[in-house]
Amino acid sequence: MAQQGYKLSQAAPTMPMETKEAMKTETYGVGQPISAPTIPSVYNKKLSKLFRGRLVVLPGDCTVENALRRMAKCNITSVPVLKSKDDPTILGFAGMLDFVTHLVKLLAKEGTDELNLDPANLKAKTETFRKTLISELVDKSGRSPFQVMHGEESLSDAVQTYLKGIQRIAITDDNGDIIGVISQWTVANYLATVPTEDKDWIPVLREPICRAGYCSNVISVNGKTNTLQSFLRMHTEKLSSLAIVDDDGKLIGNLSVSDLKGFQLFLSDFNDLLQPVCEFLSLIRKKQSRPEKFVVAFSPKTLTKEVVARLNDEIVHRAYVVDDDHKPIGVFSLTDLMQNLIVDTHTLPTFAKAIPESERGKATKGQSPKPPSKD
């Protein structure tokens, strides 16, 4: 839970907590491409300038049913939870990892991780799940900590302090009140859209992902595995996604914690989650107007900046690395990107200013210009 005393600023740009009108899908904390920072580097971008859009917050008495609908409409994976509509004290974050944890614990047989799949039990527990107050889900997974940084601190500070290990941080004003949230996704969107050549000199972006670094331990399930068991596997492995493979081990999809939002929107109760995960994903992808076997995958030789651009275009958090037979050999997530972003920002300003204009042009054309001499 959040440290006692943090409150939502009255000046924070928030979405209404309740609305009867149709809402346009918005990306959490991200609007149009952000204006270019000046040299010395993108690393010096202030956190308060990175946050764009309107912040979605929910009162603690909001039910899981309504929270999932709200999060699906706003295309977000986590929300700050307020004590109540009238009390802006922040209890912490409730994210999709917390929803999956609640689902598994609700369905597990007492004292075990084995799920009780009796149809009557699944139907009854569906209503319990939907009516749970979101205040009960705040950091239930233990993986949604509430971390805070001042809005005047830089992107470099955020990456080195928090974002290399957790997915989001709250930013404060001079009064210590919360004015927004910066996530790993916010940073990836910034790097993909900011119109400046500075980003071409971030080392990791010029590297192929095989050299940039990614997780080579790919956890997968066969597409015939039922969906509930797949979410259980995700929970026990402490993951936010699983690769879906066919009988030959070839990549045919990706199950994410975010896909649980589709249950609330399109399925009647937990019995519907007994269907094979490939069929569940086919339904969700159809509703998203995406191909039935949608998944983002690249060869190990793909440049990291191309991967980041694709993640931004598709609004996804991970890409798989596949071999020539389309079998997954790695997964590159936003956490991997954050861990690879750290550089010596004290030397970067001098380095950036020393880049000849002719060489900068090459960077934007996909070539690999030589860095300036250290002499």
Q: Say how many C-beta atoms besides its own lie within 10 A of residue 298's C-beta.
A: 20
Please work out, in degrees rounded to the nearest 5, the angle formed at the alpha carbon of residue 19 by the alpha carbons of 16 and 24.
85
What was the pLDDT predicted at 367?
35
Phi, psi (rounded to 5 degrees) for 248:
-95, 5
Looking at residue 198, its pLDDT comes to: 66
Taking residues 234-249, report their average pLDDT: 96
Beta bridge partners of 63: 133
What tens digit of pLDDT does each residue of 126-164 get? Answer: 999 999 999 999 999 999 999 999 999 988 889 888 887
Mean pLDDT on 158-180: 90
Looking at residue 32, its pLDDT comes to 31
Asked if 145 and 20 count as a contact pair (C-beta separation under 8 A), the reply is no
Q: Are strands 90-95 and 178-183 parallel, antiparallel or unpaired?
A: unpaired
Q: Compute the C-alpha angle 73/79/85, nearest 5°.
A: 95
How would residue 275 be classed by pLDDT, with cut points 50, 70 and 90?
very high
Structural domains of the chain in order of their starting residue, each with its CATH number? 42-201 (3.10.580.10), 211-340 (3.10.580.10)
Residue whose tokens read 């603690």:
60
Whether 223 shows a pLDDT value over 70: the answer reads yes
279-290: pLDDT as tens digits: 999 999 999 899
Identify any residues that bridge with 318 across adjacent strands, giving them in sequence order: 333
Cα–Cα distance measured from residue 201 to residue 221, given in angstroms and rounded to the nearest whole number: 38
Q: Residue 75 and residue 299: Cα distance in Å, rounded? A: 28
pLDDT at residue 351 is higher than 60: no
Evaluate whether 99 touches 260 at the Cβ level (below 8 Å): yes
DSSP 14-33: B--S---S-----BTTB-SP
